Amino acid sequence: MEPFSCAPALCDVFDALTSERPYKKAWPIKEAIQFIKDNAGSHFDPSMAAKFIEIMPTILDIREKYADEEISYANPHLMSVKVPAE
């Protein structure tokens, strides 16, 4: 795998594992990290996986900062959103 595709692949897998989807529950962070460790060398570049795990506190901070808001009609922020006329 090309070096420039290793980081996005790790990020994508981590996000997919730790995010709830209509068809699955989110994995706990510790289980996702263990999955990455277990698959380093086969599915993931070992040095990239190690670095990804090393910077996990920063990754989690970024993830929290840019988390999607749950969409709800009870959300006051959504009540003020104007939908443009066609």
The tens digit of pLDDT for each residue in 3-28 reads 677 888 999 999 999 998 889 999 99
CA atoms within 13 A on the CB side of 48: 18
**For residues 9 and 44, is the Cβ–Cβ distance under 8 A?**
yes
SS3 content of the chain, % helix, strand, coil (to 5): 60, 5, 35
In terms of Cβ atoms closer than 10 Å to its own Cβ (0-12, 13-18, 19+), residue 84 is exposed
- Asked if pLDDT for residue 84 goes beyond 90, the answer is no
Q: Whole-model pTM? A: 0.71
